[in-house]
Amino acid sequence: MAEFSASVYQNEFLPDGGTDVHAIVTVSCTGAGSAGQSGSGDAGEIIIVDTSGSMGAEGVRAAAFAAQTALDQILDGVWFAVISGNDRAQLAFPPSPEPVMVRMDQFTRQAAKDAVSRFYADGGTAMGTWLRLASRVFATVPTLTQKHALLLTDGENQHESPEVLTQTIQAVTGQFQCDCRGVGVAWQVDEVRRIATALLGTVDIIPAQDQLAAEFAKIIQNAMSKGVAQAEMRVWAPQGAQVLFVRQVAPTVDDLTARRTEVNALTSAYPTGSWGDESRDYHVAIRLAAKGIGQEQLAARVQLAIGADVVAQGLVRALWSEDEALTTRISPEVAHYTGQTELAEAIQDGLAAKAAGDTATATTKLGRAVQLAAQTGNEEATTRLRKVVDIDDQDNGTVRLKRTVEKADEMALDTASTKTTRVKK
């Protein structure tokens, strides 16, 4: 039986006239169990492999081997399917003209491996068709409460318009989670990140084909370790208050604000997807009506809910004070994650400016990223930034763009921009 806990880190003291309350809420889960084995319904897994012409014979062979490795990680009893994608989507396994899934066992596993071994490279790339087919396949098993997909691509989405892809992403959002990976350097990070972000997944680069199998195995192992199918963050705020934003800030930055649904007049809900044995941090910001010195108010009640059951709760408070020593104190947790969020934005904005030829903006933004990485102790980000810029003064963010940068290093910096370091409590 999974157990959840919640802890709140904030400075609850506001100055005279102060209105905005910020808090970091850490939610932890233990005893989550395995996918599809927690008594809360069935789990489903779909592996989506790019088999477009750009993959080439060697690339498809590597992707097929990776898919076979991934199939070995899917637990017996889990519903599954494999999709082959180019400018259209095809159900590679099970072999059926209509969408369908089967349960994993020793026989279906081997049959799926055999089907994957027959992949070949042909056609263009239209990722929206892959997502639509995945949605239809998942829908064939009404008992699924946990739906996860792994999507691999190697190129740009050239055979459908950006508008069509956007419409598809919107249509399938909330239907399943999807981790996305790009192999090589010919794909577009922003394009694939849009899919992963909307579908509560991750995005990353796999620089070389011989790294595919290990990455696929890791992703599926992680999916199989998440025994809590679906959970949502609920935020109650008092009458007249405004929820400014709700963001996951660890282990990655993911703004959940726009995904708000209404529970009741004072309570909003935000999706968090499935859970394993893990801990996540959320940044919640509330705007209140100012009260008098010495008055206190409950600013928010932050809960994690599974269905109708609230499994963890943290309280965010506000207390108005005239003591500057109290009101000017910055919560180290809030300060840390505010910096981490700005770091992600600075990296993405800097790389976008660099790609557009705006070297001045790129230098400024990436310099700020170097400074923020140092301030927040994000050594991984600093290491990746060093491959794109020469750092003259880390503390002041003084950098120079490198004349020559490997495309894979630039893309790795971009995909890793939302990964955060935990604050030391």
Prior bond of 99 cis (ω within 30°): no
Structure tokens at 158: 């050239």
In DSSP terms, 393 is beta-bridged to: 398
Which has the minimum average pLDDT: 38-52, 275-289, 325-339?
38-52
Give the mean model confidence (pLDDT) for residues 409-423. Answer: 95
Among 318, 331, 77, 63, CA closest to 213:
63
Note the pLDDT of residue 38. Answer: 63
Cα gap 376→391, rounded to integer Å: 17
Among 413, 294, 248, 265, CA closest to 257:
248
Cα gap 361→353, rounded to integer Å: 6
Find out whether 270 and 232 touch, Cβ atoms under 8 Å.
Answer: yes
Report the 10 Å Cβ neighbour count for 72: 12
Confidence of residue 421 (pLDDT cuts 50, 70, 90): very high
Note the pLDDT tens digit of each residue in 151-204: 999 999 999 999 999 999 999 999 999 999 999 999 999 999 999 999 999 999
Among 165, 292, 314, 177, CA closest to 235:
314
On average, the pLDDT of the chain sits at 96
The maximal CA–CA distance of the chain, rounded, in angstroms, is 73
Q: Could you give the C-alpha distances from 387 to 11, 191, 279, 407, in angstroms and in order?
A: 38, 23, 31, 10
Among 263, 254, 129, CA closest to 200:
254
Note the pLDDT tens digit of each residue in 318-357: 999 999 999 999 999 999 999 999 999 999 999 999 999 9
Cα gap 350→365, rounded to integer Å: 5
Note the pLDDT of residue 209. Answer: 96
DSSP 38: S
Confidence of residue 387 (pLDDT cuts 50, 70, 90): very high
Note the pLDDT of residue 41. Answer: 82
Helix residue spans in 124-211 (DSSP H): 127-138, 162-172, 189-198
Note the pLDDT of residue 15. Answer: 96
Where does residue 121 fall: left (phi above 0), alpha (psi -120 to 50 degrees), or beta otherwise? beta
Determine the straight-line distance between the first and last CA of the chain, rounded to whole angstroms. Answer: 27
Placement of tokens 């027959």 in the chain: 118
Give the mean model confidence (pLDDT) for residues 128-133. Answer: 98
Note the pLDDT tens digit of each residue in 266-275: 999 999 999 9
CB burial string 375-410: b at 16+ within 10 A, e below: bbebeebbebbbebbebeebeebebeeeeeeeeebb
Q: Which long-range contacts (CB under 8 A, 24 or more apart) does 376-379 make?
A: 376/336, 376/339, 376/340, 376/343, 376/421, 377/421, 377/424, 378/340, 378/343, 378/420, 378/421, 379/421
Note the pLDDT of residue 1. Answer: 82
Among 108, 158, 95, 91, CA closest to 128:
158
Task: For the chain, give the percent of residues with pLDDT over 90.
Answer: 96
Give the mean model confidence (pLDDT) for residues 350-372. Answer: 98
The three-state (H, E, C) secondary structure of 349-376, written as one string: HHHHHHHCCCHHHHHHHHHHHHHHHHHC
pLDDT at 39 over 70: no
